[in-house]
Structure 1
Amino acid sequence: MVTEPDFTVDLSKPLVFQVGHLGDGYQEWVHQPIVGKVGPRLFASDILEFLTLTAWWVIPVVWLPVVCYFVSRSLLMGHSPREVSIMVVTGIFIWTLVEYILHRFVFHIKTKSYWANTAHYLIHGCHHKHPMDGLRLVFPPAAAAILSIPFYYLVLFCSTPSTAPGLFGGGLLGYVMYDCTHYYLHHGQPKTNPARHLKRYHLNHHFKIQTLGFGITSSLWDNMFGTYPPQKLAPEKIM
């Protein structure tokens, strides 16, 4: 699909069902950020619009009790606190790789058809177009809950019934850390490292070179896979 002749996205109207019409011009459009703390309207429906909005604090409130539940299951199945601690740390470590893979190969997939552009915009494109939209920086819990089910069964398949809860709880804790860190990197003003370094590293990804810098909580995998962006590109403070 090519860009429809003379088509222009009207930012004053709901965006989701407009962006698909950009065709192969969508990638260029979505990576030209609009910096502002007030986000756009995505849907004409008030219900659908509400479901896209999530305050950052909802993530720990919803998911930390779930983390505790899964971790406690491994304890109740006979594992020692030391063993469960290792499971949790391992789960967090695995999450950092999942985070990198999702961001690089799913969130930044190239699209040009109407429905592919629309889906990409919903998943990640809206964040790149409006990176300071504070209510669309974290993943809505309902959607995350649906996606967590296959992840749990994958962990169960790769481990044992007694270790899977601890590993999954650790991975879920890694996700909570990821979403909260992501919000802070956009809206916080860290004065010291490593947070200051992570903010500059992430802003480089948004405002200078979107094809590099896919880690959020860590630059480990970018360093390992050669996708670490050049330093000192982006400003530390984006208003």
Structure 2
Amino acid sequence: MKNKSVESLRLFDNDLLEALTHVHPALPAIVWSPIVVYLYYYGIEIKGLPLSEVAIVSFVGLLVWTFTEYALHRWAFHFPAKSKFGKRIVFLFHGNHHDVPNDKTRLVFPPVPAMIIMFFLWQFFALFVPARFIEVFMGSFTVGYLCYDYIHYATHHFPMTSKVGKYLRKYHLQHHYQGRAAKYGVSNPLWDYIFQTVEGPLKKKVD
């Protein structure tokens, strides 16, 4: 494990590729907020969904996001790769964050790969979500993603003085310092409780 005092790791020899891995924390909100507004506008104004249905679909979209957050973190970002290539991919997506957890420009996800992932998730969810609801569903799903991105950033760089904030900060930092077999939820611990991955061997106390 790298020294946590190191500000950043170089991931690519190519300067352009390296630059693309660094993201200003405001960028996801700038990119995704207009998309969310348009998706809700399309569902409400173009498709004419009543607000009661918008509320229900929004709740479902947020709930599905929480599971997606958990699943990606647990089974993709912590995938026990065996090959050199596999280990490199896992490191690029998430391992570097565990080596340098306070890198300010690598805590939010770069918009370009995020859009690619969202495109494929849209195609997948469209198999199950009725076409009438898909825009609002994806809008709320994206809101969930933004909440995750900024809660994650806050746990590393903001004091988070509220009761909930302190809980989430401690919970996530314990994921870093208790070992990697527990506490995969970042925006909430719901699926950790469902899948019984809350507990892990304590390696470092987090205040």
Pairwise TM-score range, normalised by the shorter structure: over 0.9
Partner SS, residue 82 of structure 2: coil
2:78 paired residue number: 108
Cα distance in 1, alignment partners of residues 5 and 40 from structure 2: 39
Any residues of structure 2 matched to 1:158-197 within 5 Å, and which?
158-197=128-167
Match runs of 1:37-52 below 5 Å: 38-52=7-21
Distance, in Å, in 2 between the alignment partners of 1:223 and 1:134 is 29
Instruction: Give the secondary-structure state (helix, strand or coil) at the position aligned to 1:93.
Output: helix
- SS for the counterpart of 2:56 is helix
1:33 and 1:207 in contact (8 A); partners too? no
Please state how far the C-alpha of 1:112 moved relative to its aligned partner. 3.0
**Measured at CA, do residues 38 and 84 of structure 1 come closer, stay the same or move farther in structure 2, by a change above 3 Å?**
same
Q: Give the conservation status (yes or no) of the 8 Å contact 1:214–1:222.
A: yes
1:67-216 correspondence to structure 2 within 5 Å: 67-75=36-44, 76-216=46-186
- 1:155-195 per-residue CA deviation (whole Å, 9 max, x = no partner) reads 22212212011111110110011001100011111122111
For residues 230 and 140 of structure 1, the distance between their equivalents in structure 2, rounded to whole angstroms, comes to 30
- Which residue of the other structure, out of 55, 74, 91, is the alignment partner of 2:24? 55
Percent of paired sites with the same residue: 32
Give TM-score, length-normalised by structure 1: 0.82
- Provide, for residues 104-135 of structure 1, a one-character-per-residue CA deviation record: whole Å limited to 9, x for no partner: 11111112321111111101111111101111
Q: How many residues align?
A: 205
8 Å Cα contact 2:178-2:200 kept in structure 1: no
Look up the match of 1:25. none
What's the TM-score once normalised by structure 2's chain length? Answer: 0.94
Over aligned residues, Cα RMSD in angstroms?
1.6
Question: In the TM superposition, what whole-angstrom CA distance separates every residue of 1:79-114 from its partner, at most 9, and x where no partner exists?
Answer: 112321221221111100010011111111112321
Q: Does the aligned pair in 2 maintain the 1:100–1:214 contact within 8 Å? A: yes
Listed as ranges, the gaps of 5+ residues in structure 2 are: none
SS in 2 for 1:158: coil
- Larger-Rg structure: 1
